With several copies, the nearest count.
Chain A
Amino acid sequence: MKTDLSIRFGELELANPLVAVSGTFGYGFDYEPIIPPETFGAVVVKGTSLEPWPGNAPPRIVETPSGMLNAIGLENPGVDVLIEEYLPRLAERDTKVIVNVVGRTVDGYVGVAEKLDQRPEVHALELNVSCPNVDAGGMSFGTSPEAVAELIGATRRVTQKPLIVKLTPNVTDITVVARAAEEAGADALSLINTLLGMAIDTETGRPILANVVGGLSGPAIRPVALRCVYQARAATNLPIMGLGGVSSAEDVVAFIMAGASAVGIGTAMFADPRTPGRIVEELKEYRSRYDEWPIGRAHQ
């Protein structure tokens, strides 16, 4: 019985296709021992900026049907603390480490990339050009193909690490941005970040999130995420990390069939922390059905 779940995601050889997505798994250890970091083929740590960012005022989250809104605002202690406190510990564990990089300016991203370029603990950088919860940077980059291209070019100059670009679904045509990323030299795409949404407290008449709007994640957005992966696969040759609402091994396989060669999971861990372990277990049965992972099979 074939139970080798390994899969090639661009330059990275992952032990299995499942990836803990940025912002939902901290720095890898909060769920121990229920979800040890080596459960995953790779762990993407929280969005990291050059300086510490305080994040948004509470309330930061709201539950929604089959999902949730978040407006964390990329709270993080900055890249230096990441390097000193979190990376060494994660490097001891048997998984690939990807750092989600954020900035308010191109220089902000470049600064983080520069500091991480020499860190052997880091296997790839994920440029987050898609966070809907910060005023500058984030999504304002990700909706403009030119800005995405410029950012990739500038970051490429300071690092040899694989550059994964995480795109926002909040655009008219995701293939335009995906192609711009490919042409600018990105090594892979990560699809999707959250959908822009909001919630209102009818008692007070006010938006629930202090930030007014937030990012929608969880199973609710899975059909949108799957469509974005499918479209991006058809439009580019870049390897794709598919994510958005993944909650089962079947979802993982669906994303692979849409064109992903790594599949992220986030919000579903909150609903049930047993999910990642269960998925990896169940993926073995799926894997045994195919000679190789059926990447992009839905396009045939």
Chain B
Amino acid sequence: MSSATDADLHLFEARVAHNAPEGTARRLTLAVDEPIDPNPGQFLQVGRSGSETYLKRPLSISDWDAARGLLELLILPVGRGTRHIASARPGEMLTLLGPLGRGFPSPDELGAAPLLVGGGIGSAPLVFLARRLAASGNPPTTFIGASDGQRLAGEKSLAGCSRRLVLATEDGSRGEIGMVTSVIWEHLDGLEGITSIAACGPAGLLEAVKILSDRLGVPAFGSFEERMACGVGACLGCAIPMAKPGDGKKYLRVCADGPVFALEEVAIS
């Protein structure tokens, strides 16, 4: 049931180097001394002292510069925990547990022409993935969407490492108008030859991506969210229903068996 090898797990402090707005979200750049080696799609359990919250909060590794030890978080302040972490001041130390979970398949597995689909803050982990894909010689085609332009996340970085980046907003304030999953259908012609889909966003987006992947006949992977306590697989708090339960087993753990699952593995709710 344990996923990553033991030595992968680190508990460390990292200094906030920058904290800048990115639309309605905040981009935190952390200076990491710890010898971590994360994969795109993995996440961290993040704590900031002086918080009224008791548990840490799961946040995707949005970007990772291994050479300089710079790690980026893209945080949408939605509740007490994310608000508190998102307001960390430069110079402050955050406590991090990770890298956690199973990330996206390797660039090799995603093939020569990967498609990335992100919705809202869900684009966060796609930045790191796109960077790895570009480095492997197969930059992705990327679609990201949000309700409005302020909620598009990771645009700049994604533009730099995608073959092509299409933006969609529901109010039309940036890019094409409509849900990103509808906009994709209008670009179907341009998507011939894609080899896989990697997605992150709300359930509706993942469902639409699953339909798309069936239509295109390519494997699709999505990053999922659930409330978490331990983040390492110990508490079984982050259950996600399996698509095909069996043998008395109905649920997988988002933190340790995911957060990235093949879309056919789990029931998207």
**Residues in chain A within 8 A of chain B (CB atoms):** 23-27, 29-34, 46, 51-68, 70, 72, 75, 77-78, 218-219, 267, 269-274
Q: Chain B CB within 10 Å — which of A23, A54, A68, A77 has the most? A: A54
Of B11, B228, B239, the residue contacting A274 (CB under 8 A) is B11
Distance of A67 Cα from B239 Cα, bound (Å): 19
| Cβ A24 vs Cβ B227 within 8 A | no
Of A26, A58, A272, the residue contacting B234 (CB under 8 A) is A26
Question: Top 4 closest A-B pairs, CB basis?
Answer: A52-B248, A54-B250, A26-B234, A61-B237
Please list 15 pairs of residues, one from A and one from B, whose beta carbons are closer than 8 Å in the complex, sorted by A's number.
Answer: A30-B2, A31-B234, A32-B6, A55-B251, A60-B227, A61-B228, A61-B235, A66-B54, A67-B54, A70-B237, A72-B236, A77-B249, A270-B55, A272-B47, A273-B11
| Cβ B256 vs Cβ A57 within 8 A | no
Q: Smallest CB–CB gap between A84 and chain B, Å?
A: 13
Chain A residues lying within 8 Å of B7, measured Cβ to Cβ, are 33
| Cβ B227 vs Cβ A59 within 8 A | yes
Q: Which residue of B lies closest to A65 (CB)?
A: B54
Interface residues of B in 209-258 (CB under 8 A from A): 226-241, 245, 247-251, 256
Distance of A72 Cα from B250 Cα, bound (Å): 12
Q: A26-B233, A32-B9, A70-B229 are in contact. Are A54 and B245 (CB under 8 A)?
A: yes
Of B1, B231, B237, the residue contacting A72 (CB under 8 A) is B237
Q: Smallest CB–CB gap between A204 and chain B, Å?
A: 14
Q: Chain B CB within 10 Å — which of A32, A46, A52, A64 has the most? A: A32
CB of B48 closer than 8 Å to a CB of A:
no
Of B10, B11, B239, the residue contacting A55 (CB under 8 A) is B239
| Cβ B230 vs Cβ A60 within 8 A | no
| Cβ B234 vs Cβ A25 within 8 A | yes
Chain A residues lying within 8 Å of B241, measured Cβ to Cβ, are 57-58
Distance of A273 Cα from B248 Cα, bound (Å): 31
Distance of A294 Cα from B1 Cα, bound (Å): 40
Interface residues of B in 43-85 (CB under 8 A from A): 47, 52-56, 81
| Cβ A53 vs Cβ B248 within 8 A | yes
Tally of A-B Cβ pairs under 8 angstroms: 117
| Cβ B54 vs Cβ A63 within 8 A | yes
| Cβ B256 vs Cβ A54 within 8 A | no
Distance of A189 Cα from B230 Cα, bound (Å): 26
Q: A59-B226, A70-B237 are in contact. Are A272 and B6 (CB under 8 A)?
A: no
| Cβ B239 vs Cβ A60 within 8 A | yes
Chain A residues lying within 8 Å of B95, measured Cβ to Cβ, are 272
Q: Which residue of B lies closest to A269 (CB)?
A: B230
Q: Which residue of B lies closest to A274 (CB)?
A: B11
Chain B residues lying within 8 Å of A55, measured Cβ to Cβ, are 236, 239, 250-251
Distance of A116 Cα from B248 Cα, bound (Å): 20
Distance of A46 Cα from B238 Cα, bound (Å): 16
Distance of A118 Cα from B245 Cα, bound (Å): 32
Q: Which residue of B lies closest to A72 (CB)?
A: B236
Distance of A240 Cα from B247 Cα, bound (Å): 37
Chain A residues lying within 8 Å of B237, measured Cβ to Cβ, are 60-61, 70, 72
Chain A residues lying within 8 Å of B127, measured Cβ to Cβ, are none
Q: Smallest CB–CB gap between B234 and chain A, Å?
A: 4
CB of B205 closer than 8 Å to a CB of A:
no
Q: Smallest CB–CB gap between A51 and chain B, Å?
A: 6
CB of B97 closer than 8 Å to a CB of A:
yes
| Cβ B229 vs Cβ A68 within 8 A | yes
Chain B residues lying within 8 Å of A267, measured Cβ to Cβ, are 229
Q: Smallest CB–CB gap between B36 and chain A, Å?
A: 13
| Cβ A57 vs Cβ B56 within 8 A | no
Of B9, B227, B251, the residue contacting A54 (CB under 8 A) is B251
| Cβ A72 vs Cβ B54 within 8 A | no
| Cβ A78 vs Cβ B248 within 8 A | yes
Q: Smallest CB–CB gap between B253 and chain A, Å?
A: 10
| Cβ A75 vs Cβ B234 within 8 A | no
Chain A residues lying within 8 Å of B55, measured Cβ to Cβ, are 63, 68, 270-271
Chain A residues lying within 8 Å of B250, measured Cβ to Cβ, are 54-55
| Extra pairs beyond A30-B232, A60-B238, A63-B227 (15, CB < 8 Å) | A24-B230, A31-B234, A32-B9, A53-B248, A54-B248, A54-B251, A55-B239, A57-B239, A57-B241, A63-B81, A68-B229, A77-B248, A77-B249, A269-B234, A271-B47
Q: Smallest CB–CB gap between B90 and chain A, Å?
A: 24
| Cβ B235 vs Cβ A75 within 8 A | no
| Cβ A30 vs Cβ B234 within 8 A | yes
Distance of A70 Cα from B236 Cα, bound (Å): 10
Chain B residues lying within 8 Å of A67, measured Cβ to Cβ, are 54
| Cβ B236 vs Cβ A62 within 8 A | no
